[in-house]
Amino acid sequence: MNRLGFLFFAFVVATFHPLRAEKIDNRNFAIDTYYPTSNEIQIAEQRARRYWAKHAARFGPDPAYLAVETSKIFPGEVQALWPKLINSETTSSFFSHGIDKQTYSNLELRGIMIFDTRTGHFVSNRGYISVDTPPRGGIARFDEYIARFIGVGNWG
């Protein structure tokens, strides 16, 4: 009976870690890159710092990056937009409107920058353009970064 109890305990402990692990959405949410203004960068960086100061203990050190929404982007600002949309893994909100309603007036493009929680700064002055975004607090891929999406950083 003692061995059976030990095996059961070992099984339960081994299953707890995967149950607590957060799911990572490995689809690439970035359809293109862009360069926000220095003012947009400064404001978004302040929001990211405030957010991280408030929520660091809740989320822990992984992932080390936050995906922060910096600005709205107009479709006319993106070159060769149509091929980027049809080749993207995450543009379902745009295509869900139906064939006859696929105009750029339905399209909401968001500028996302990646904030490094270890340095307290963005990883670069380059951002990513995204159509759909993961749920706030969710972990997803933006080009080569795995980051927690915080939107504009003013929730919770």
Whether the Cβ atoms of residue 67 and residue 150 lie closer than 8 Å to each other: yes
| Predicted pLDDT at 1 | 55
Lowest-confidence region among 17-31, 33-47, 89-103, 127-141: 89-103
Q: Where are the domains of the chain?
A: 24-151
Q: Compute the average pLDDT of residues 128-140.
A: 93
Beta carbons within 8 Å of 89's beta carbon, 6+ residues apart = 27, 28, 29
pLDDT at residue 37, rounded to an integer: 95
Question: What pLDDT was estimated at residue 107?
Answer: 82
List Cα–Cα distances, 22 to 59, 60, 137, in angstroms.
10, 12, 10
- Residue showing tokens 């293109």: 32
Place of tokens 């700064």: 121
Query: Do residues 48 and 150 touch, judged by C-beta distance below 8 A?
Result: yes
- 118 or 155: which carries more pLDDT confidence? 118
pTM here is 0.79
> Over 90: is that where the pLDDT of 120 sits?
yes
pLDDT of 32-91, one tens digit each? 999 999 999 999 999 999 999 999 998 888 889 999 999 999 988 999 988 888 888 887
Task: Give the C-alpha separation, 68 to 25, whole Å.
Answer: 16
